[in-house]
Structure 1
Amino acid sequence: MTEKTAQITTIWYLAMTSPSELIRKPLPDSGFEVRECSEDLFEYNRFLYEFVGKHWEWTDKLTWTEQQWQDYVESANLRTWVLYKSGSPAGYFELQKKSEDIVELAYFGLAKSFIGQGLGSGFLCKAIEEAWSWGAKKVQVNTCSLDHPSALDNYKARGFKLENTVEKPA
């Protein structure tokens, strides 16, 4: 008889409390463009979530109805940016205003074919800069052990400080 071992997922909660904590790194100048989505198109956010997240076990929104997606995307507290390479989406991030003072980097990621090209740090800097420009007094993000192996190190390298660590069964 074999014994099942419970898988544990580690979640790291990080924060930045001043724009001066941001350790900047630019995006490469080779045809990349970051643009904010000026229209609320829940289908596009759903596509980006699935396109980027399928490699990192992003599953929390996969069962959402169209109405849930629409309510989420049309909220005044959510903004979305997309990284493009020659017109094709290469990654995206969503910022969510949690309170008047706190902006969370709710989702951040690159499409699989763009990982390993030196884009993550510069794209993350853009996300953090946009969070601060939205009036944040604190920027938060969380990542977990299911995410890209470099995610936690990238957040720390950009200036985020660890606030809490939680382990839970997967």
Structure 2
Amino acid sequence: MTEPASPTLALDGLTPIPAGKIAAIVTFLEMRERPAPLPEPEGHGLTIRRVERPDPGWYRALFRRIGEDWLWFSRLRLPDAGLAAILADPAVEVHALLRGETEIGLLELDRRVPGEVELGFFGVVPGETGAGAGRVLMNRATERAFARPLARFFVHTCTLDHPAAVGFYMKAGFVPVGRAVEIADDPRLDGTIRRDAARHFPVID
């Protein structure tokens, strides 16, 4: 039996997405010069700790706490060996944002392409958005990215993410440079992410 043909993306109109799939508009952003730092709340009491050779289990737990309701699934589906290899690469650095002893944010910078730095993953746990924690973490991100010469610092985000994400990145100094449509298997249907996550984007199966 032959597989049904995938629908061709309509460049003017609607394209049906098969049941069991999720679709998002991805926005690509970049900056080429270090921006002025974002204003940080007074007496925020936050600290940032670099995590050397992060344990994949620790990484996934924080990744899930931050991103499950935004359907962050890529690092959850990655086999342990593949994730461990990325996290152990000297060109990849991981930082945790802490309020007291509690980890509330994740920053991952990827320098594996010479002359470029990707803001691989960036976020704070629910309840910390809009309170200044993201600004503190972003200031560390730009400080670390521009600590050595580079051609560009870049990130991508999508419409499944927090609705303020694109605006936040632009305030931080990133400039939108492109868009794409991303389609993937819904991670809630195979148990990667809990079934009731991301209520703003209902499951269709």
TM-score, normalised to structure 2's length?
0.74
RMSD value over aligned CA atoms? 1.9
1:9 aligned onto 2:33: no
Aligned counterpart, 1:27: 40
Partner Cα distance (1:123, 1:39) in 2:
20
Counterpart Cα distance in 2 of 1:168 and 1:87: 37
Shift of 1:46: 1.8
- Decide which of 67, 77, 80 is 1:63's aligned counterpart: 77
Equivalent residue letter for 1:113? G
Q: C-alpha separation between the residues in 1 aligned to 2:52 and 2:88?
A: 11
Other structure's SS at 1:133 match:
coil
Query: 2:156 — aligned with what?
Result: 142
Q: 1:136 to 1:48 in 2, by over 3 A?
A: farther
- Confirm or deny that 1:18 pairs with 2:18: no
Say which is worse superposed, 62-71 or 23-32, in terms of deviation. Answer: 23-32
Whichever structure has more helix as a proportion of its residues is 1
CA contact (8 A) 1:57 1:146 kept: yes
| Structure 2: gaps spanning 5 or more residues | 1-14, 185-205
Gaps of 5+ in 1: none
Rg larger in 1 or in 2? 2
Alpha-carbon deviation of 1:121? 2.5
Query: Larger relative CO (CA 8 A, sep 6+): 1 or 2?
Result: 1
- Paired residues, number: 165
Q: Distance in 2 between matches of 1:141 and 1:63?
A: 21
2: CA distance, partners of 1:169 / 1:43? 27
TM-fit CA distance, 1:118: 2.4
Distance 1:100 1:145, change over 3 A: same
Residue of structure 2 in register with 1:162 after alignment: 176
Residue 15 (structure 1) shift: 0.6
In the TM superposition, residue 134 of structure 1 has moved relative to its aligned partner by 4.4
Gap change, CA 1:23 and 1:167, over 3 Å in 2: farther
Bigger mean CA deviation after superposition, 110-119 or 22-31: 22-31
TM-score, structure 1 as length reference: 0.87
SS at match of 1:61: helix
